[in-house]
Amino acid sequence: MTGKTDFITMQVIRYAMEQIADEMGHTLVRTARSTVIKEIMDISCAVFDHKGRTIAQAHHAPMLLTGLEITMSRLLQEYPPGMLQDGDIIISNDPYMGGQHIMDVQLFAPVFFEGELVGYVGSLAHMVDMGGASPGGVAGGVNEIYLEGLRLPMVKLYKGYKEDKEIFGILQNNIRVPHVTLGDIRAMASCNYVGVRRLQDVFTKYGVETVQDATAMLMDYSERRMREGLQAIPDGTYTGVDYIDDDGLSDDPIKIQINIIKKGDGIKVNFDGTSKQVKGNINCPIATTYAGVYYTIICVVDPSVAANSGCYRPVKLDVEEGLIVNPRMPGAVASRTNTSQKIVEAMLKAFSTAIPDRVVAGSHGQISTCAFSSYDKKGRRFVYTEIQGGGAGARPTKDAREGQDSHLARFMNTPVEAAEMEFPVRVECYEFIPDTGGAGKFRGALSMRKDIRFLCDNVSFARYGDRQKFGPFGLFGGSEGAMGRFILNPGKPGEKRMRSKGLDTLQYDDVISLQLPGGGGYGNPLERDPELVKQDVLDGKISLATAKDTYGVILNPADLAVQQQATEQQRQEMGKIALK
Amino acid sequence: MRIGIDVGGTFTDIVAIDDVTGQFHYAKTLTTYPNLWEGVLEGIARILDKTGWTMDQVNYIVHGTTIGTNALIEKKGAKTGLITTEGFMDVLEIGRVQRPNEALYDFFIDNPLPLVPRYLRKGVPERVNAEGEVLLPLDEEKVREVLQYFKEQNVESVAVCLLFAFQNPAHERRIAEICAEVFPEAYISLSSEIAPEFREFERSSTTVINAYLQPVMKRYISQLTKELEKKYGKIDLRIMQASGGTITAEAAEKFAINTVNSGPAGGVLAGSFIGNITERKKLISVDMGGTSFDIGLIDGGIPKITSEAKFDGYPIKIPVIDIDAIGAGGGSIAWIDKGGALNVGPQSAGAAPGPSCYGKGGRLPAVTDANLVLGRLNEEYFLGGEMSLRKDLAYQAIKEHVADPLGMSVEEAAAGIIRIINAKMSKGISVNSVEKGSDVREFTLVAFGGAGPLHAVELAVELEMQAVVVPPICGGFSAVGLLVSDVRYDFVQTMIRSSDDIDLGQLNEIYKELEQKGIAQLTAERFNLQDMELVWSVDLRYEGQSYELNVPVDRGENLGKKDVEKIIERFHALHEKLYAYSSQEEEVQFVNLRVTAIGKTPPVEFKTESLTGKNGAEGLKGSRPVYFEGHGFIDTPIYERDRLLSGSRFTGPAVVEETISSTLVTPGASCYVDEFGNLILTWGEV
């Protein structure tokens, strides 16, 4: 134990810091304007020390949280101490300055105490619009960053608590819905100022030395927990591979390869074997790549650790420039989530051989993000955004929780009634699709399907999705989950499968069926408890035929009773065939 | 005279007030499992015995029951079937797709499973659009088929949640009619009656919970009223709701969900009562028992109500008192994690085996153990001397599990446990108030529950709050809420309209209709018009927002354009107050129209004592070393609360002991006993 503090003070200050991050998050959610922030909660807030290291995070999207640290380090280069004053706020959304994608705007504020720069607070939120080629910024198949929206380098949006008129003016002129986006940005600023004040309170209460000792100790503590967790994982080199369908422009699959070198209490990760960057906007900026890697390692090593900068210390990343996971300018990046999700998937596959009881099978592995835009009856432009994942992968001890989202992001769906009241649409179905969860001793989650009918003309349909050519992987004998599909006018003349990424126009009465990927299974389906198979058939989650052909369970068609002997026989025979 | 009975996990608290003298009575009995009504009857007998009243002197009894809460937590509700619009049977299971907060990095933590499995969820062809127009008529044949299937599956209760039923309930009502015809023995819950508001998942969840609890509630209430009648004849029995108001036993059978979490709601209501008599309009109430720390917010003398509550992970879309519970209590266990840091809770030793010092086999150190080691609790006077505490066991548990591993003394470790649990609770209070748009520094803390008053002053000082109030009988204080509660029925109708597009005819018609429902209900309960309070309000938002703010509406015969303008002005002002901005140029949307029908019960006049006390010497019963943060152990005067005279004032350090609790007065803080017997604690400049 060094310095002025002790373990108990460390914990007390940790709670105070978490409280600041939470209060920032609540302030942002309550004051923002857009549904993306308020209902979907695509945001993050964090508190940093004077060196830009994360002390505490609010409980939002891990993808954004773990990436903030990378942005912070860039900010310290751009604005070394001395260039910032009390009340300043820096804005940026530049994927090439440590940002995520253009739609994710980040605001950082320095915190001064008795004239000294003692820390920073930061917030990040997904904007409804930032200009660019398509409303909502989510069209797939875009080929350079310039088309994706207004790209702000790190600039001072507020100077000494005052708005910078010029920058607000530039924003105002370049955004389709300035009243919403500027409202959201102002909400972020007030959330940052709440953070500044609260952090100053903590310094007043405990003094600079105690707080800095406690936060340093807190990071050491998290580092120690991570290192102990890593120590328990067998040494070795583990490789995992997954594929992205395509970049929305060509049809070529894109390879994500992760090589994990685990030695002692440290871990090295490189991407040797991964595809080069691509033309389509699926490139993954470096902050997002780090986020995917950090997220997965925390999940499998110590999910209850205090998530701060110390967690990242045992992890060394080596990411060559020019790969899809570290693109060069002017690579387009809007739909990077499809890539970051695959980073997680490939890492889980790699870890599965070392720590089979800590990983999950493949999940939806993408985020189907769709923006529908046209004019409503009153002649007003609307942008209707649907952000959906899909099924999660099965786990070593239990089935996936049907309907529940999986990695990195943490969003909510848009209620059917909310959509219909606000936009000229009718949702015709929002249900599971039977027989789409990967079979296994534990079953992957079913696919979901949402069918939307449009009641207006000339609707632009911008979207990016994935896992429509490569399904979510199963583990240890579990089978793949179903792939996703976007179908235009299902079951009707003119039925057509649409590309996973692109921009099209829909007309009055067109129905678009968004069918999401399911989750992969875990373990041999022949080892699944026949009673669980029976329940799945009863629930209509799998068919009677699947029970027999995939799980080897024979049920009496009348009352679905498990026929023990027939089942044993069926499973034995299937086992023999599998051996051959 | 009126009686309140609050059935808790271990004890059943019974309170009574004499409406003439304001004299207050309190008794408690053990809660009786599995027949809770036995304990209730025993409690009534005991309080009648104590007061010397006969049942005909009692105007009514208010009952706070945990039957619904328990059935939901233990998943012991009825076998329930759900009918939805065809194509939407899985809405209940899909939910809002978001993982729980605790699952940020954890693959193994899930949202709770739906209360109705998929094979008991059935879609029927029908469709109503957002305007309430029927696009597809109800397929009645299919409805019959589904009900027949439910019957075969031994379903006991049926929930119906169709899209946009809150705009046009015709199809849901028709299903109820068909059910009465083909499956009359089934209970039925319609979303258009239980929670007629938009957002299909939350509405389904609410309706399903109601259906799930309805048979359980019905059985309990029938049994209880039968037994009461057998013994006392007919009694006016009212049931407490989570909204803080009561309903008839009959209504509680139908709206079973309204009773979920009504116990803690009683506590907040009691807190607001104390606030009103002590003229403190901004309070945060904290009820700290063995396992949980319940936080409520009272502003303007009224408990904060929400329609966005969750219970046990399930959304509940009815107006309830907004309560945040965190896992912190006297039983919360201290433990060292694998990184070597000290944590307290959320695991609790509960009542059995309880903290180590109970000597009932618990070996792990709990918050109560730490309080005992620090001299804050009296080992001989726990539960008024009914139970003695084992300091040696507390000492041993802290030494073994905290002090030795961290290389510190047992006293240091105990102080650390208290600092950490306090930090957790103050974080809970602070985040909770920010979430509700309030500044905690403007509030007074009302602390009760067995453990609340021990921690209250430290918390309030840390949070820079105004003062602390510790009400009398703070162990059974939640039950006081039952005595002061009014009868309350809430009615809501969604009407989504831009403010510039309001159909005044429709607006007036809906309010009239909702109000008529309220008047009819209260009239049936023998309330005169002058004892009714009809409160109109509306949920509004800026277009595109997904949270609404509830704004009061002045009741009137014929609301006109001017009234609508006034409502909108209020909305801007409230928005400005809560969120620090408002936007005059933006379109305001009407979302839900609400009428709350309140049947006023006669006001409770607490008996007051004359302020004859001086320095509290009459209550002084000795001294012992007590540990205070920043001071270490100080020889501290100990007071007996029951002996303290109103008007007494003394300064800390001090401990004020009473039967079920102890109040810690930190050095420099001042403790005043007011005319009602409340302890008022202040510090700083005072």
Q: Could you tell me if residue B616 is left (phi over 0), alpha (psi between -120 and 50 degrees) or otherwise beta?
A: left
| Residue A319 CB-density burial (10 A; 0-12 exposed, 13-18 middle, 19+ buried) | middle
Taking only the tens place, the pLDDT of each residue in B107-146 is 999 999 999 999 999 999 999 999 999 999 999 999 999 9
- Whether residue B339 and residue A307 make contact (CB cut-off 8 A), yes or no, is no
Q: Label each residue of B354-414 as H, E or C.
A: CCHHHCCCCCCCEHHHHHHHCCCCCCCCEHHHCECCCHHHHHHHHHHHHHHHHCCCHHHHH
Peptide bond into B196 cis (omega under 30): no
Half-sphere exposure of residue A11, counting CA atoms within 13 Å on the CB side? Answer: 22
Query: Worst-scoring range by mean pLDDT, A308-317, B195-204, B450-459, B542-551?
Result: B542-551
CA distance A60 to chain B (A): 8
Distances (CA, A) of A364 to A87, A406, A517, A522: 42, 8, 5, 15
Q: Does A421 touch chain B (CB under 8 A)?
A: yes
pLDDT of residue B656: 97
pLDDT of residue A4: 57
- Whether residue A305 and residue B88 make contact (CB cut-off 8 A), yes or no, is no
Residue B136 CB coordination number (10 Å): 13
Could you tell me which of A267, A270, A241, A264 has the C-alpha nearest to residue A254? A241
Report the percentage of chain B scoring pLDDT > 90: 75
Q: Does A356 touch chain B (CB under 8 A)?
A: no
The answer on pLDDT for B581 being more than 90 is no
- Whether residue B105 and residue A432 make contact (CB cut-off 8 A), yes or no, is no
Q: Which residues of B touch A426 (CB under 8 A)?
A: 129
Could you tell me which of B225, B65, B234, B60 has the C-alpha nearest to residue B601? B60
Taking only the tens place, the pLDDT of each residue in A53-104 is 999 988 677 777 777 888 999 999 999 989 999 999 999 999 999 889 999 9
- Whether residue B105 and residue A295 make contact (CB cut-off 8 A), yes or no, is yes
- Whether residue A15 and residue B423 make contact (CB cut-off 8 A), yes or no, is yes
The answer on pLDDT for A283 being more than 90 is yes
Scored b (16 or more CB within 10 A) or e, A445-467 reads bbbbbbbbbbbbeebbbbbbbbb
Taking only the tens place, the pLDDT of each residue in A496-535 is 999 999 889 999 999 999 999 999 999 999 999 999 999 9
Strands B468-470 and B444-448: parallel
Q: Is A447 helix (H, G, I), strand (E, B) or coil?
A: strand
Give the residue extent of every domain in chain A: 7-223, 361-523, 527-579
The answer on pLDDT for B580 being more than 70 is no
Average pLDDT on B167-188 reads: 97
Query: The whole model's pTM is what?
Result: 0.93
CATH topology of domain B77-217: Rossmann fold (3.40.50)
Residue A234 CB coordination number (10 Å): 9
- Whether residue B416 and residue A8 make contact (CB cut-off 8 A), yes or no, is yes
Give the residue extent of every domain in chain B: 77-217, 487-599
Question: Among positive and negative, which fits the CA dihedral A534, A540, A541, A542?
Answer: positive
Average pLDDT on B175-184 reads: 98
CA A336, CA A186: separation in Å to the nearest integer?
26
Q: Does A220 touch chain B (CB under 8 A)?
A: no
Q: For the domain B487-599, what is the CATH code?
A: 3.30.1490
- Whether residue B119 and residue A62 make contact (CB cut-off 8 A), yes or no, is no
Q: What is the residue whose two structure tokens read 């939901």?
A: B72
pLDDT of residue A366: 94
CA distance A279 to chain B (A): 32
Question: Residue A421: closest CA among chain B residues belongs to which residue?
Answer: B130
pLDDT of residue A39: 66
A71, containing H or E segment: helix A62-78
Enumerate residues 6+ apart whose C-beta is below 8 A from A232: none
Alpha-carbon B213 to chain mean position: 18
Question: Residue A382: closest CA among chain B residues belongs to which residue?
Answer: B544
Taking only the tens place, the pLDDT of each residue in A382-397 is 888 888 999 999 999 9
CA distance A359 to chain B (A): 8
Q: Label each residue of A515-580 as H, E or C.
A: ECCCCCCECCHHHCCHHHHHHHHHCCCCCHHHHHHCCCCCECCCCCCECHHHHHHHHHHHHHHHHC
- Whether residue B108 and residue A16 make contact (CB cut-off 8 A), yes or no, is no
Q: Does A509 touch chain B (CB under 8 A)?
A: no
Distances (CA, A) of A452 to A382, A422, A508, A515: 16, 14, 11, 11
Residue among B118, B130, B580 minimizing CB distance to A541: B118
pLDDT of residue A256: 98
The answer on pLDDT for A2 being more than 60 is no
Could you tell me which of A301, A298, A292 has the C-alpha nearest to residue A274? A292
- Tell me the one-letter amino acid at A419: A
The answer on pLDDT for B548 being more than 90 is no
Enumerate residues 6+ apart whose C-beta is below 8 A from B467: B280, B444, B445, B460, B680, B681, B682
- Whether residue A221 and residue B547 make contact (CB cut-off 8 A), yes or no, is no
CA A40, CA A405: separation in Å to the nearest integer?
12
pLDDT of residue B508: 96
Distances (CA, A) of A408 to A24, A366, A463, A558, B99: 20, 10, 19, 44, 11
Q: Residue A202 — pLDDT band, cuts 50, 70, 90?
A: very high
CA B328, CA B425: separation in Å to the nearest integer?
7
Q: Which residues of A touch B496 (CB under 8 A)?
A: 421
Q: DSSP assignment, residue A125?
A: E
Question: Residue B428: closest CA among chain A residues belongs to which residue?
Answer: A19
Q: Does A37 touch chain B (CB under 8 A)?
A: no
Could you tell me which of A132, A180, A526, A182 has the C-alpha nearest to residue A333? A132
Average pLDDT on A401-430 reads: 91
Q: Does A31 touch chain B (CB under 8 A)?
A: yes
- Whether residue A12 and residue B338 make contact (CB cut-off 8 A), yes or no, is no
pLDDT of residue B686: 41
- Whether residue B545 and residue A38 make contact (CB cut-off 8 A), yes or no, is yes
Q: Is B239 helix (H, G, I), strand (E, B) or coil?
A: strand
What is the complex's ipTM, to 2 decimals? 0.93
Half-sphere exposure of residue A254, counting CA atoms within 13 Å on the CB side? Answer: 30
Residue among B118, B427, B496 minimizing CB distance to A19: B427
Half-sphere exposure of residue B485, counting CA atoms within 13 Å on the CB side? Answer: 39
Q: What is the residue whose two structure tokens read 């904290």?
A: B286
- Max avg pLDDT among B202-216, B434-448, B499-513: B202-216
pLDDT of residue A41: 72
Q: Is B680 helix (H, G, I), strand (E, B) or coil?
A: strand
Q: Does A418 touch chain B (CB under 8 A)?
A: yes
Enumerate residues 6+ apart whose C-beta is below 8 A from B677: B471, B472, B609, B646
pLDDT of residue A1: 40
Average pLDDT on B377-390 reads: 82
Query: Worst-scoring range by mean pLDDT, A272-286, B305-319, B398-412?
Result: B305-319
pLDDT of residue A81: 85
Mutant choice from B113, B546, B574 vs A, greatest count of A C-beta within 10 A: B546
State phi, psi for A51 to the nearest 5 degrees.
Answer: -95, 5
Q: Which residues of B touch A38 (CB under 8 A)?
A: 545-547
CA A278, CA B441: separation in Å to the nearest integer?
55
- Whether residue B98 and residue A411 make contact (CB cut-off 8 A), yes or no, is yes
Question: Residue B85: closest CA among chain A residues belongs to which residue?
Answer: A429
CA A195, CA A215: separation in Å to the nearest integer?
16
The answer on pLDDT for B369 being more than 70 is yes
Provide the greatest CA pair distance for chain B: 80
Strands A89-92 and A104-113: antiparallel
pLDDT of residue B31: 84
- Whether residue B580 and residue A416 make contact (CB cut-off 8 A), yes or no, is no
Mutant choice from B105, B408, B434 vs A, greatest count of A C-beta within 10 A: B105
Contact status, residue B349 vs residue B333, Cβ threshold 8 Å = yes
| Residues pairing with A263 in the sheet | A266
Residue among B88, B201, B339 minimizing CB distance to A222: B339
Question: Residue A294: closest CA among chain B residues belongs to which residue?
Answer: B105
Could you tell me which of A180, A363, A485, A304 has the C-alpha nearest to residue B97? A363
- Tell me the one-letter amino acid at A207: G
- Max avg pLDDT among A219-228, B382-391, B597-606: A219-228
CA distance B539 to chain A (A): 15
Alpha-carbon B620 to chain mean position: 36
Residue among B99, B338, B579 minimizing CB distance to A405: B99
Distances (CA, A) of A208 to A2, A3, A87, A562, B228: 15, 12, 19, 68, 65
CA distance A143 to chain B (A): 31
How many Cβ pairs closer than 8 A exist between chain A and B?
191
Q: DSSP assignment, residue A436?
A: -
Question: Residue B97: closest CA among chain A residues belongs to which residue?
Answer: A404
pLDDT of residue B353: 86
A132, containing H or E segment: none
Could you tell me which of B630, B686, B637 has the C-alpha nearest to residue B665? B637
Taking only the tens place, the pLDDT of each residue in A305-324 is 988 999 999 999 999 999 99
Average pLDDT on B615-643 reads: 95
